[in-house]
Amino acid sequence: MLEIDAVSHTYPDGTRALDGVSLSIGRGLFGLLGPNGAGKSSLMRVAATLQSPSAGRLYFDGIDVLAKPQALRRRLGYLPQDFGVYPGVSARVLFDQIAVLKGITRTRERRDAAERLLRMVNLWDVRDRAVSTFSGGMRQRWGVAQALIGDPDLLILDEPTAGLDPAERNRFHELLFGLGEVAVVIVSTHIVDDVADLCAGVAVLADGRVLAKDAPAALAAALDGRVWRGPTDPDAGAATLLSRRLSNGRPAVRVLADERPGPEFERVSATLEDAYFAALADAQEGRR
Amino acid sequence: MIVRLAWHELRQQLGGHVFWIVFAVSVLMVAGAMAIDELRVGLSEQGARTGVAAIVRTHLVWTLFFLFTAAAFVGEAAMRDEATGFADLVRATPINLRSYALGRSLGACAAVLLCFVSVPAAMAASGAVLGLGTGSPEAYLFAFFTLAVPNLVLASALFFALASVTRSMTGCLLGAAGLLTLYGLAGDHGRSGLTLIEPFGLAAVAEATRGWSSAQRDTMLPPLGGVLLLNRMFWLAAVAVLVGLGTWRAELRAPRSRLRTSGLEGVGGDANASQSAALPAVTGRAPPALPASSGWSVVAIQIYVRTAFEVQRVIVTPAFAVLLVMGLAGATAAAARVVGTPATIAALASSFQVVPVVVALFFSGELFWAEHEHNVAPLVLATPASRAVLVVPKLLALALVFFLLAATSAGAGFFVELSRGQPPAPMSYLSWYILPKAYEWLLLGVLALFLQSLAPNKLAGWGYLVFYLIGSLAFSKLGWQDPHYSYGGYPGAPLPPSLSGARGVGWYRLGWGGVAAAMAAFTCRHGATNGRQDNTRPLWRRLAGRAG
């Protein structure tokens, strides 16, 4: 269980990235949703012990993370949103380097782990190629493999499906689902479907604050009966615009309202995406 | 467009710290040389301090000193976009890439020229302050525009071409090191007779003023005609060729990863084929694989594996190969001039000095900043490895590299002796040269890493060490050579005690080893204890500083 207790962080330039974030995340997949700059990556980095927060505390299975970061790192797998590699170093050698830093000192164990995990992410056949020559998706898969070294109990994955093609993304979902049965897995993403399909819990972040947290289905269910779909924006009134997009070349507008916002609107089932936009709209309303 | 790009580059260079650090160092050194005889490196002891000859000679010598400045400015301008990932954005615009590269390099060249203004400014100002007079304005104009400007433009063009061809800052720095080494080897005597082809005009000026009295040299400008004019025209033509080469290659320059990626994209295509591979980790979950990774045996293995990795990243580089070949050439030449093992070792100790210094300078920065530069820090910092496991292997890698350098240069002397049919004494090579020299160079390597750990970036770290080396040289010339306060020093240096006859050398080595150990410990701990959070520090240190 990862306990994040009133964590705040302000960068030296005054940017308040996290503002009193509190979350309890148990075994299973947990999604962090939020727009750009919401504080997802900052929270991930704090949880991964790469950044000390300005205030607050974190515990993982009783470990005081801020006091004993090394203890957490022994049980951590981390995929940063943006990472690089040494130029010209092969996938296997680089994997080996991370494995030895993680404390796997027996050559055979490292070799076995490399084979198992590089096969898992479909990179075994190119294990002797330099990672710096990989495409974005291949590099991301290598990043996933290194995060899984040592079968971590806490897996923090920042935008893990970025750059993956649909087939790889599906494979990765399967992999994540399996991991969620034995570890705490935190996934940050912009892709609402990733969270809706996989995660047992989700938190919506914006401006460094948690706007909503619950199971994806519960967040959606809380809006049931109040989400409407129509072809145009509703008249000014009590309806809250959730999203506007083109569907088959025609505008499709989803709004939140207790009553039908117009004759052309029909009631639809609420989705996690509706809940996400509703939380953001609430926060925006609160700021006004 | 080219002018606008040049202006943009110039502003960027002026906004950086490096420009102003170099400017300040030049002012201090030129002013110091005006005030103190012992600091007049490469300058004549005779004649008036602000006479025409002194002004001309100062400009010429300082254009040599500015080789590294030109390499740094032009190399950075050429490589910055690649290093920052901005290059792809530029390539996606309709701009002519040759114009772009040329504009950038012109701006960098302008920055070099502007920075060089520090030399005449410091000379005139310190001359006035010291009551020597500012010197003739005509002499300054002549020296600056007919000597310094063509020289600096030539250096900039050379580094532009090198950066375009080698696509690395290393190429520029090696070019500068090679050129300086050649000048060092040739000396004034070696340049005579090369009036036309000696690129920086020292020989041509000497030829143009041959037979002049001291009074004439102090009051008359060298005539801009004859051999001097030919020399200037010849090398300006070379500038045109180098700029053409650099511009041509700039068009061809493309990201290396793109060039090599072809054929790899399809690898993901076999995803379906291996779809049946054991997917969820839970199905093939190994026993807990992260043991308590703080035990000494674990740390020792981590350091061993990391050291092997770091060593490979030094010795399998073109830069190291070029440095080694250059050093070996000099060492072999020196060894060939003497007879017998003791004399050969003494010759090696005196001749094989530049390469270890350049290795310490260059690779300390490369090693220390690698995780930051390549953005590997987020990966390695999330592991339970201690900070020492990241830093100690870099020190050990330098130690091994220095041992290899010592062994290789000793091998050169050994084989020179063998080729003459003289039996060399292997144990003498080992105990008089290889071990003590490797140790001495390691002391410098530790200092270089220590300075990098204090610096906000790699370039500044290099600057700190250059500043230290120049300062050491200056203090040495001032007579402050006592090994008690000269880092790494010992009586009779650079000769081993068995050749110099000095006593107590072991104690000095031990003492300076203690200082180096303290610096190494500080370098290992610095990142973990320093809480500053400015963005100019290495990422892994900043991160470690926060997280402990």
Residue B515 in this model has a pLDDT that exceeds 90: yes
Question: What's the whole-number mean pLDDT along residues B125-130?
Answer: 88
Q: Mark yes or no for CB contact B306/A84 under 8 Å.
A: no
Cβ within 8 Å, pair B280-A51: no
Residue A191: pLDDT band (50, 70, 90) is confident
H/E stretch holding A267 reads strand A266-267
- For the cut 60, the answer to whether the pLDDT of residue B525 exceeds it is yes
Q: Residue A79 in 3-state DSSP?
A: strand
Question: Is the minimum CB–CB distance between B427 and chain A shorter than 8 Å?
Answer: no
Note if the pTM is more than 0.95: no
User: A residues 30-49 near B, CB within 8 Å?
Assistant: 48-49
> Are residue A22 and residue A122 in the same domain, yes or no?
no
- B67 neighbors B179 (Cβ within 8 angstroms): yes
Q: Which pLDDT belongs to residue B31?
A: 86
Q: Say yes or no: A55 contacts chain B, CB-CB below 8 A.
A: no
Whether A137 and chain B come into contact, CB under 8 Å, resolves to yes
Exposure of B284 by Cβ count < 10 A (0-12 exposed, 13-18 middle, 19+ buried)?
middle
pLDDT exceeds 50 at position A127: yes
Do A224 and A251 lie in one domain? The reply is yes
Mean pLDDT lowest for which of A23-37, B105-119, B342-356, B470-484?
B470-484
Give the nearest chain A residue to B316 (CA atoms): A88
Tokens of B10: 């110039």
**Number of domains into which chain A is organized:** 3
Residue type, B287: P
When comparing pLDDT for B261 and A9, which is higher? A9
Query: Which of A127, A151, A175 is at the close of a domain?
Result: A151
* Claim to verify: residue A21 and residue A127 sit in the same structural domain: no
Residue given tokens 């002194």 in the structure block:
B54
Q: Which B residues 106-135 touch A at CB under 8 Å?
A: none
Q: Which pLDDT score is estimated for B185?
A: 55
How far does chain A reach from its first CA to its final CA, in angstroms? Answer: 36
Q: Is the pLDDT of residue B272 over 70?
A: no
Q: Would you call B547 and A51 a contact, using CB atoms and an 8 Å cutoff?
A: yes
Percent of chain A surpassing pLDDT 90: 52
Is pLDDT of B332 > 80? Answer: yes
Measured CA distances, B470 to B26, B404, B407 (Å): 11, 26, 27
pLDDT for B210 equals 85
Contacts of A182 in chain B (CB under 8 A): 281-282, 285
C-alpha to C-alpha distance for B346 and B135, rounded to whole angstroms: 44
User: How far, CA to CA in Å, does A287 sit from each of A17, A35, A240, A280, A283?
Assistant: 17, 16, 15, 11, 6
d(CA B196, CA B203): 8
Q: Write out pLDDT tens, residues B409-439.
A: 899 889 888 888 888 888 989 988 999 999 9
Do A71 and A157 share a structural domain? yes
Cβ separation A152–B279 shorter than 8 A: no
Write b or e for each residue in B69-97: b if 16 or more Cβ atoms lie within 10 A of its Cβ, otherwise e: bbbbbbbbbbbbbbeeeebeeeeeeeeeb
| Chain B residues touching A101 at Cβ < 8 A | 302, 306, 380, 383-385, 389
- Over the stretch A106-121, which tens digit does the pLDDT of each residue have? 999 999 999 999 998 8
SS3 string, B338-397, reads: CCCHHHHHHHHHHHCCHHHHHHHHHHHHHHHCHHHHCCCHHHHHCCCCCHHHHHHHHHHH
Amino acid at B170: T
Least confident of A6-10, B36-40, B489-493: B36-40
For chain A, say whether B288 makes contact (Cβ under 8 Å).
Answer: yes
Q: Given the structure tokens 């020289």, which residue do they identify?
A: B151
**Under an 8 A CB cutoff, do B293 and A102 touch?**
yes
- Cβ neighbors of A108 (< 8 A, separation 6 or more) are none
Comparing B525 with B120, which gets the higher pLDDT? B120
> Would the pLDDT of B376 be above 60?
yes
Shared domain check, A271 and A225: yes
For residue A148, which residues of chain B lie inside 8 Å, CB to CB? 281
Q: Domain boundary at A112, A129, A151, which? A: A151
Q: Clarify whether residues A100 and A110 are in a common domain.
A: yes
What does DSSP assign to residue B29?
Answer: H
Residue B289: which of A51, A73, A113 has the nearest Cβ?
A113
Answer for the pair B197, B234: CB distance below 8 angstroms, yes or no.
yes
pLDDT at B85: 66
Nearest CA in chain B to A127: B267
What pLDDT does B98 receive?
A: 81
Shortest CB distance from A101 goes to which of B291, B375, B389?
B389
The pLDDT of residue B39 is 60
Q: DSSP E strands: which ranges in A159-249?
A: 184-189, 201-206, 209-214, 227-230, 240-247
Identify the sign of the CA torsion A181, A183, A184, A190: negative
Given CB atoms, is B262 within the 8 Å cutoff of chain A? no
Mean pLDDT throughout B78-99? 74
Contact status of B83 with chain A (Cβ, < 8 Å): no
Q: How confident is the model at residue B540 (pLDDT cuts 50, 70, 90)?
A: very low
pLDDT band at residue B187 using 50, 70 and 90 as cut-offs: low
A196 shares a domain with A127? no
| Distance between CA atoms of residues B367 and A177, nearest Å | 39
8 Å CB contact of B378 and A86: no
Q: Residue B355's closest CA among B299, B310, B314?
A: B314
Question: What average pLDDT does this structure show over A28-48?
Answer: 91
CB atoms inside a 10 Å sphere around CB A254: 22
Lowest-pLDDT range, A229-238, B127-136, B460-469?
A: A229-238
Instruction: Determine, for residues B260 and A133 on separate chains, whether the beta-carbon distance falls below 8 Å.
Output: yes
pLDDT of residue B44: 64
A10 and A97 in a common domain: no
Collect all residues with Cβ–Cβ distance below 8 Å to A88 and sequence separation of at least 6: A130, A132
**DSSP letter at B117?**
T
Report yes or no: B399 and B445 within 8 Å, Cβ to Cβ: yes
Distance from CA of A216 to the nearest CA of B (A): 23
- pLDDT at position B192 is 56
Q: Are residues A145 and A107 in the same domain?
A: yes
- The reply to whether B548 touches chain A by the CB within 8 Å rule is yes
Buried b (16+ CB within 10 A) or exposed e, B412-432: bbbebbeeeeeebbeebbeeb
For testing contact with chain B, the best of A75, A102, A138, A157 (most B CBs within 10 A): A102
| Closest approach of B390 to chain A, Cα-based (Å) | 9
Interface of B with A in 296-355 (CB under 8 A): 297-298, 301-302, 305-306, 309, 313
- With 70 as the cut, is the pLDDT of residue A79 above it? yes
Asked if B121 and B24 count as a contact pair (C-beta separation under 8 A), the reply is no
Residue in chain A closest to B548 (alpha carbons) equals A69
- Chain A contact for B271, CB < 8 A? yes
Cα B437 from Cα B29, distance rounded (Å): 30
| Domain boundaries, position A228 | 220-287
Task: Taking residues B391-400, report their average pLDDT.
Answer: 92
Identify the pLDDT of residue B291: 52
Q: What are the chain A neighbours of B267 within 8 Å (beta carbons)? A: 123, 125-126, 138
Q: Do residues A157 and A147 share a domain?
A: no
- Give the model's pLDDT for residue B287: 42
Asked if B378 lies within 8 A of A122 by C-beta distance, the reply is: no
Q: Which residue among A119, A151, A183 closes a domain?
A: A151
B543 contacts chain A (CB < 8 A): yes
| Residue pLDDT, tens place only, A220-242 | 999 988 999 988 877 767 788 88
The larger pLDDT score, comparing residue A148 to residue B41, is at: A148
- Number of other CB atoms surrounding residue B121 within 10 Å: 16
| Residue of chain B whose Cα is closest to the Cα of A83 | B375
Q: Are residues A93 and A159 in the same domain?
A: no
Q: What is the bridge-based pairing of β-strands A28-33 and A2-10?
A: unpaired
Residues A25, A66 share a domain:
yes
Q: Does A217 touch chain B (CB under 8 A)?
A: no
pLDDT of residue B475: 76
Query: What value does the CA radius of gyration of chain B take, rounded to a whole number of Å?
Result: 26
- Report the candidate in B188, B199, B118 with the shortest Cα–Cα distance to residue B154: B199
State how far Cα A104 lies from the chain centre. 27
Q: What is each CA distance from A214 to A24, A32, A196, A199, B452, in whole angstroms?
A: 11, 11, 12, 10, 48
Backbone angles phi, psi at A184, to 5 degrees: -85, 120
Q: Say whether pLDDT at B297 is over 90.
A: no
Q: How far apart are CA B366 and CA B538, in angstroms?
A: 12
Contact B375 A83 (CB under 8 A): yes
Mean pLDDT of A194-206: 89
Model confidence at B546, in pLDDT bands (50, 70, 90)? very low
Residue B79 has pLDDT above 50, yes or no: yes
Cα gap A218→B450, rounded to integer Å: 56
pLDDT of residue A12: 86
